[in-house]
Amino acid sequence: MLLWQVTLTAFIITSLFGLYLFSGYTFRIKVYYPLVLVACHITAAAVTTILFAILIVKMFTTSAHVNVFSIVFACISFALVALTLLSGLYFFFRYDFKRRKTKWGIIMTHLAMAGLSFIFAISSISTVAIAPTGHTYPGSKWYKYHLRQSLENATQQQN
């Protein structure tokens, strides 16, 4: 797998962990998750952030298709991902690790940042992950074959 595919997979896994934790926290009155689930989500988020940073550095150094928009968009995306990770770490060490009641404001801030960072990061990956174009020809062999057949049919119908 390519680096951008691994990073995209890590983003999806981290988001699924977060969605599971949030849905369990929201739809039940009192939820005490095993700390392992929350730690797995934080570990996946940290690995995803590191992979995304490596992808951005690789994009800046090796890609010939990088323009200013891609650079600025990738930097904004990385800033959002890093802030989301930091807010999640704050959220974890302040409340989950000590098993205190969580405040909704912090949860909503983290969720909004997670949603935005997911959208921005996936979009910035897609601006970079375009494969370089090779030598292309205007018509394929099948197109030329069908064109010739249709021209022959048209001339036969006229005769």
Q: What is the pLDDT of residues 10-63, one digit of tens each?
A: 999 998 888 888 877 766 655 566 778 888 889 999 999 999 999 888 877 876
The CA distance from 87 to 90, in Å, is 5
Q: What pLDDT score does 66 carry?
A: 66
The rounded distance, in Å, linking the Cα atoms of 20 and 22 is: 6
Long-range CB contacts for residues 30-35, cutoff 8 Å, separation at least 24: 32/99, 35/96, 35/97
Contact between 54 and 60 under an 8 Å Cβ cutoff? The reply is no
Residue where the block lists tokens 């992979």: 51
What is the token pair recorded at 149? 């057949």
Mean pLDDT rounded to a whole number for the chain:
80
pTM: 0.71
Q: Is 42 exposed, middle or buried (0-12, 13-18, 19+ CB in 10 A)?
A: buried
Confidence (pLDDT) at 128: 64
